[in-house]
Structures are given as structure tokens and as C-alpha cells.
Amino acid sequence: MRLANLPTPSLVLDRQRLDGNLRRMQARADALGVRLRPHLKTAKSADAAARAADLGARGITVSTLKEARYFLESGVTDILYGVGIVPARLDAAAALRADGANLAIVTDNLDVARAIAAHDGEFSVLVEIDTGARRAGIAPDDPVLVDIARAVQAAPRAQLAGVMTHAGHAAGPDGVRAIAAAERDGVVAAAGALRDAGFGCPMVSVGSTPTAMAVDHLAGVTEMRPGVYMFGDLDQQAIGSCGRDDIALSVLAAVIGHNRAAGTLLIDAGGLALSKDRSATEFRPEVGYGEVCDAETLEPLVGIYVADCHQEHGIVPVPDPRVYGRLPIGAKVRVLPNHACMTAAAWDSYAVVEGEAVVGRWPRVNGW
Amino acid sequence: MRLANLPTPSLVLDRQRLDGNLRRMQARADALGVRLRPHLKTAKSADAAARAADLGARGITVSTLKEARYFLESGVTDILYGVGIVPARLDAAAALRADGANLAIVTDNLDVARAIAAHDGEFSVLVEIDTGARRAGIAPDDPVLVDIARAVQAAPRAQLAGVMTHAGHAAGPDGVRAIAAAERDGVVAAAGALRDAGFGCPMVSVGSTPTAMAVDHLAGVTEMRPGVYMFGDLDQQAIGSCGRDDIALSVLAAVIGHNRAAGTLLIDAGGLALSKDRSATEFRPEVGYGEVCDAETLEPLVGIYVADCHQEHGIVPVPDPRVYGRLPIGAKVRVLPNHACMTAAAWDSYAVVEGEAVVGRWPRVNGW
């Protein structure tokens, strides 16, 4: 099968670019002296996880317990469930451990810690620290940190594994270095507070692709959990975490209309195929919902972006009417995604390519 | 099964509200003297299509040929594929007709019309008219309209079915009535141009939920193709196409965190479960990614919206700290969607409820 024979729209994953991204982040983790525990919320693929492990990654991070079950069934046992646990999910988490997963769960809440302690399952617990993202987590110096640790350690079958944070607010290229330092310093300070109070803290976990690429050192940290680095996207390019030629994910689409009166062309990748995420436009307003590229070479068709999306129509302003001749009805293009995690989520599987050869079909685990 | 026993997040469809929406649009079509051919791109559900047909709808509209195949297999034969056809899809379209579908296809392009004529399949063809949306379609007075008609009619096995348009640009409540009139007048003018040139034009098709609800008459039109009316959403409410209590779709979510330092709470419905669509914020900036409601009653929790989304976290600003007491960790809420078509797309099925009783599980057809 060739790229040209795929139906449109199709989600395409470039295996060589993926491999380059996996190797680069592994080298980064090795140089920083930390374990790489990739977040599989982006790829949601056992094949991608296996390739990362082949290249040195140890364990994974997931965003749902459905992912945890899927990856456990694929043979991955060391799993960090990165979203704050709630009591209603403790039975499912305990079942994963009973079935062989070395599952770590996360909380930032004393009531939840007490519920963990009161449950009869075995649990390994990380306390979530807010190092600036203001999403989840407690401040590194919040005294409840020690209260949570005490509640967990008092339970006969739960153990305190350490602390984790996610600096998901990583901003434009100028701000990332400072955010990365704050992410590290905050979680290391929290680990110190736990140790000062007499607790062990074997895991000190940070994680985001921008901070992983920007941080100057990770002294005191034991692991990193980046995710979107596997694929890259226009948002990561805008932040400076990857180059344009590192972006491994794209959507193959066909030109389905010429609206010369409006100065646009239409492609059959719209809001469902690309997602409505516009993260990258914070830094590069012109990229809209994705950059339109040559289908074979992935070279940009200069100045051509998906400016608007309807459900199954992508609307592409045409800067020069000669584009209509170059891209007649039926012509194929590939669209580099604004935010790979969201674009991939609409798809059940990847068409894996090497150049123009389709070399595999990798399934994804979606939903909840 | 009760609503309270569903896992979180879950996509919930209120059957009584759905029925009310189906009845209201059917009454509207009946009063306007046109056929209702609902667009199933929103619901993507054979059960929803069957219920609409029970109440008087005739035929359906779809946005992909995968949907067409799915609905044909469920027993629906009268299908309008509403996205401009490209030559690469003619084989699949012809196969649907060969398998019993009375499939109508759409084009606005003379080259495509010639490709249709040159194909050995049977086709029923609508010409798409741009009545102001500037997405696809030709202007009502564009002379290529007659050229396309001529190319189609010259083919031994293709027939010209008529004209269609979609005023998908329907704006806020003040603008919809004028847009609806322009949608009708444009497509009726195009039908007249075809008839003046000696062609039959049995189908004159308009369609969008806002214009269907706002138009004062549809003289000269034969059918309407609204879609999102089945579910309603905050965007349709903002436009004035439905009331808040008509919104039949919601996402059941659990509170998974309290970030008192940030003045927020977190729910386990984020960008994947809700979508990143923000259509409604054009008219109501405060609604963000969805309105947070009581899980049982769907009454609003006043002033509480999903202001930001990460992949699996919805971030809800808390206007009053007493909300933390009312919504402890694990508490359930339901989120009314910003744009129902996009929110539903992340899900394989609906949990269908009547009040707090879960009365069914309806599958969806997703992907391409």
C-alpha cells in the first residue's frame, strides 16, 4: 500500500520521525540523569509505547484507567495514572494492581488520601504538587502535604511513592526555561519537605514536553513524563520544543472544492478530523487549525493553512489563484496538526508510513 | 440502571427532550409545507434517525459515505450525502445505490459533473448553491449552474435532482431571519434558473437549525435539512434556536479536585470529553466549554462554567467557596455542551435516560 492509495481523510504517522522524536527525548532524559516515563495520552498506542521502551523508556504514564487496562494487556506493567484519583475509581485501580500492574495513583486531597487508606486494595500513591500551572496539586510548602503522607502511610496496604507535578502551562519559547526551573524546584522542595518530616520519597516526577526540552538540569528529580514529544505539532514547534521537520503526525486530506468567489479551497478534513484545538495560535495566529503541506514530501505549501473548520470541511484561504491549478479537485494534501493530542483523538488507528510506503496500521485506545 | 450508577465521564441523552426537539422541528416543517430530511451528522445514530422517522421525517442527510453505509444497513434508503462529492468517491457512491440506497450526491464543480457523467454508476445529483455562507457552492446566478446541469443530464445514467444550499453561517439571533430569507431566496432563484433553461428541478433543499427556526416562509422550497436541533446546545440557545430546557445532550462528570488556591474545581470531563469547540462564546463569552449543571435535575449551578480544558481535566472557576461544600470530591455534575456535534463525536454511544433512569444505550457511527 502507498500513501496515495489511502482513503481521505486518514491519520498518518511517519515512523522515521517518530523514531527520531523518541531517540531525542531518550537522549535528553539520559543526559539529565532521569528516567523517561512517557505519557501515552497522546499516542494511546501499544505499538508506540513498545517502540519507546525499545529505545530506553521505562514505564508509562496514562490519563485514564481505560488506557491503564489497555497497556497492561499489551504487557506494560509500570504505570502512573496521572489524573487525580477519586474514591469511585479505587476499585478499578485495585483491580489493575491485582492483575499485575505496578500502578501508581495520584492525589492532592486529604479526604481522598483517607479514602485510599480505608480501601482494602494495595496502592502506591504520589502527591500532586502545583508548581505554577494552577490546575491540580498543592503548593510545595502546603502543610497538607505531610498530612496526606501521614494518612497514606498509616494504611496497612498503601505506600507513599513520592511527589509529581505537571507544568502544563509552559508558555512561549521565552518563558519555558523559567517554568521548567520552577517545575523542578517546586517538586524537589516538596520531596524535601516529605523527607524532613520523616517520609521516604523515592519518586520525584516532573513532566511536559516543553519543560523537558528547556530545563537546564534536573538535580533531585527521578523521572520525566513528556507525551506529545512523540508526535510533535505546530504548538510544540511554536514553543520551540521541536522543529517543523520533527512533526510525525499529519492528516491526509483531499481537495473537495474550489470556491474562487471566496478565495478558498475546501478539504475533507474539518473540525472532526483535525479537532477544534487552536493552542498554537497563541503564538502563531496564522496557523489556524493546521498547516497544509504537500502530501508526499510534507513540505509546506507556502502560506496555506486551514483557517476555519466545519464538521467535515476544512476551509483554506488561497493566497494566489495559481494554487487552484496546483491543487485540483481530488488532489491530496497533508495537514500538520495544531495540537497532536486532540487531532489524534478522533481516530481509531494510525496509517504508519515510511516515506510514501504504508508499513503498518497501529490501533489507538480511545474513550473512557 | 440509574444515572447515578453511570461511570464518569459519560455522554447522556435525555430521550424526552430529544422527542420534544424532534416533534417541534417536525411541526415546523409541516407548518412550512416542506419535507424534513434531518441531518444525522450530529446524532450519528440509527436509533435517533428511526425516532425522527416515526414522527414524520422522510429520508436523511449524512456528512460521510461511512454514515450513508451505516444508515442504509439500518434500513434507511433515502439519503442525501451533503458534502461535495469527489471523483475518488464515485465508486463508493455507486455501490451504495447498487445496494439499494436512493442516494443523492452534491457538486458545485463542472469537472466533477463531467466525471459523474463519465462514470458507469447511477447517480442522482444536486447542485450546491452558495446563499451567503461562502463555504461551498456557486452563486445562484452563476452561469456554470446550467453548464453543470447540462453535463449531468447528458449522461445516460445520471439525473439532475435539483439544488441544495446550507446557510451554515447563521449568526446571532438578530441576524438569522435575514440569513434564512437569503438562503431560501437564493436556492429558489437557482431552481428558477434551471427551470428557465429547460431542466426539471424536483428537489429544492435548504438546511440549518437556526434558519429552519427563524424563516418566515419556504415558498418554492421542497425540504429542509437541520441536524443539531435533535440535541440542541449552548450555541443554538445563544442563537435563539432552542431553549435551555430543550438541550438533550450532556456529559456526566465527577468532581476530581478542589484547587482552593486557584479558586477552581476540576471535573473529569476535559477537552476530549467536551471538545475544544467554542462556537457559543461568540455570543456568550462566559460559557467557555460548557455549563455545569446539577446531575439529576439539569438545573444550572449558577455562574459555573468550564472555563478551560486540558485533555482529561475541565477547569471550573468557583464563584463562591460554598460551592466546594456543595460539590465535594466525587460529586457528579452534568455539563451542557457548547456545540453538540463536536462533543458527541468523542463518544461511541449514548447513555439514554428518562429522568434518572438509564433506559438504553444507543451506538454512534464515528470516523471515516
Residue of A40, A277, A329, A361 best to disrupt the B interface, most CBs of B under 10 A: A329
The answer to whether the Cβ–Cβ distance between A136 and B257 falls below 8 Å is yes
- In chain B, the percentage of residues whose pLDDT exceeds 90 is 95
pLDDT score of A169: 85
User: Above 80 in pLDDT, residue B201?
Assistant: yes
Cβ contacts (< 8 Å) between B108 and chain A: which residues? 257
pLDDT along chain A (368 residues), means of 10: 96 98 98 98 98 98 98 98 98 98 98 97 97 95 98 94 92 86 98 98 97 97 98 96 97 97 97 94 89 95 94 96 96 98 97 97 98
Yes or no: say if B234 and B66 are a contact pair by the CB < 8 Å rule.
no
Of B111, B137, B311, the CB nearest to A63: B311
Q: Identify any residues that bridge with B14 across adjacent strands, giving them in sequence order.
A: B353
B316 Cα to chain A: minimum distance (Å): 10
The answer to whether the Cβ–Cβ distance between B86 and A134 falls below 8 Å is no
Give residue B354's pLDDT band: very low, low, confident or very high (50, 70, 90).
very high
Q: CB under 8 Å to B178, separation ≥6 — which residues? A: none
B292: number of Cβ within 10 Å: 26
Cα gap B109→B144, rounded to integer Å: 8
Q: CB under 8 Å to A175, separation ≥6 — which residues? A: none
Of B256, B276, B348, the CB nearest to A367: B348
Of B86, B345, B366, the CB nearest to A254: B86
The answer to whether the Cβ–Cβ distance between A257 and B109 falls below 8 Å is yes
B195 Cα to chain A: minimum distance (Å): 24
pLDDT score of B172: 74
Which of A223-232, B38-47, B144-153, B282-291 comes out lowest in average pLDDT? B282-291
The answer to whether the Cβ–Cβ distance between B329 and A83 falls below 8 Å is no
**Residues belonging to chain B:** 368
pLDDT score of A47: 98
Cα gap B126→B217, rounded to integer Å: 22
Cα gap A144→A88, rounded to integer Å: 22
Of B109, B264, B342, the CB nearest to A329: B109
Give residue B276's pLDDT band: very low, low, confident or very high (50, 70, 90).
very high
A57 Cα to chain B: minimum distance (Å): 23
**Model confidence pLDDT, tens digit, residues B136-189:** 999 999 999 999 999 999 998 999 999 999 998 867 777 999 999 999 999 999
DSSP-assigned states of every residue in A304-354: EEB-EE-SS-EEEE-SSTHHHHHS-TT-EEEEEESSHHHHHTT-SEEEEEE
Nearest residue in chain A measured CA to CA from B133: A262
Yes or no: say if B49 and B38 are a contact pair by the CB < 8 Å rule.
yes
Q: A9: cis peptide before it, omega within 30°?
A: yes
Q: What is the mean pLDDT of residues B301-306?
A: 94
pLDDT score of B319: 92
Residue of B311, B339, B366 best to disrupt the A interface, most CBs of A under 10 A: B311
The answer to whether the Cβ–Cβ distance between A313 and B345 falls below 8 Å is no
Yes or no: say if B339 and B235 are a contact pair by the CB < 8 Å rule.
yes
pLDDT score of B20: 98
Of B83, B254, B368, the CB nearest to A88: B254
Residue of B272, B343, B361 best to disrupt the A interface, most CBs of A under 10 A: B272
Nearest residue in chain B measured CA to CA from A136: B259
Cα gap A65→A82, rounded to integer Å: 10
Nearest residue in chain A measured CA to CA from B88: A330
The structural domains of chain A, ordered by start, are 3-10+243-363 (2.40.37.20), 15-232 (3.20.20.10)
Cα gap A348→B365, rounded to integer Å: 12
Please report which helix (H) or strand (E) contains residue A119, including its range. Answer: none
User: Above 90 in pLDDT, residue B46?
Assistant: yes
Cβ contacts (< 8 Å) between B366 and chain A: which residues? 346
- In this structure, what is the dihedral angle of CA atoms A17, A21, A22, A28, given to the nearest 10 degrees? 160
Beta strand extents in A69-110 (DSSP E only): 78-81, 102-107
